[in-house]
Chain A
Amino acid sequence: MWLFRLSQTKMRLRLEALRELYKRYFGENTAEARGLRLLREWLSPLQREQFDVKGNFEVFGSDTGRRYRVHYGTEMNVHELDESGRVRMGWCFVPQGRLVAGDVMLAQKIALETFECGALSVARRFEPYSRCPSGVISYLPSRRISHPNRTNCFAACEPQSGWLPPGQ
């Protein structure tokens, strides 16, 4: 029980820190601030509310209708959810170049909502390793799933889409 309370406290502190960071960013003209402002402008009202409250937002894949949660960050921040909202799989795909978090998250939203299979075809899967009582997910990077195994997870996408990455 005390472990659960500790996790709740940690989660609350983390959210408070995120909100503080968020407020500070909006008053600035840094690359990070501009990225977050652009992201917020492009989110749907529901996604914006989710992002303001929880620091993440959910999108539905354009090809499969699957639900994904996009967390604040620039890598390993996209999680596929199952029907009950539990994390099923992690997907790592980012735009080339060193973009700020807001831009990366917006690119991920657009990609999943407009060419889901194309985005996943270049993504690296990773396995979320555990879920704490607080809902915070931890990872075990050494258990990342290697590319050769990736083929199976595209079974749902490939027949529906002739998408190829640009330039191929």
Chain B
Amino acid sequence: MPVQIVMDYKGDTRHHFDANDAAELAKAEARFKELTGKGFTAAVRIASGEVSKLNSFNPAAEETVFFPRLVGG
């Protein structure tokens, strides 16, 4: 089952969804848009250890990780 992993102070929060369920898919897409709209970066693994940044929702992505906007330390 696909999962959206959102990094937070608790480590992360995981949102699983059924890609065959239209309602759950719509919810996952809305979450994607909300987070990226807030400045989160979304990324997926495309191979073992290789990553790719997502600019739009990909319903086929098995695992999408979101992290907050980067700032200088």
Tell me whether A and B are bound partners. Answer: yes
Residues of chain A with a CB closer than 8 A to B36's CB: 166
Question: Is B67's CB under 8 angstroms from A103's CB?
Answer: yes
Look across to chain A and name the residue whose beta carbon is closest to the beta carbon of B72: A124
Chain A 37-77, CB-CB to B under 8 Å as 1, else 0, gives 01000111111100000000000000000000000000110
Please measure, in the bound complex, the distance between the C-alpha atom of A167 and the C-alpha atom of B70, giving whole angstroms: 12
Question: Is A96's CB under 8 angstroms from B49's CB?
Answer: no
Partner of A124, one of B8, B9, B73: B73
Interface residues of chain B: helix, strand, loop or mixed (majority): strand
Question: Is B52's CB under 8 angstroms from A106's CB?
Answer: no
Which A116-168 residues sit within 8 Å CB-CB of chain B? Answer: 118-119, 122-124, 147, 165-167
Which bucket holds chain B's interface residue count?
Answer: 20 to 34
Please measure, in the bound complex, the distance between the C-alpha atom of A75 and the C-alpha atom of B5, giving whole angstroms: 22
Residues of chain A with a CB closer than 8 A to B49's CB: 42-48
Question: Is A44's CB under 8 angstroms from B48's CB?
Answer: yes
Partner of A31, one of B5, B11, B39, B72: B11
* Interfacial residues, chain B to chain A (CB-CB below 8 A): 5, 7-12, 36, 39, 41, 43, 45, 48-53, 65, 67-73
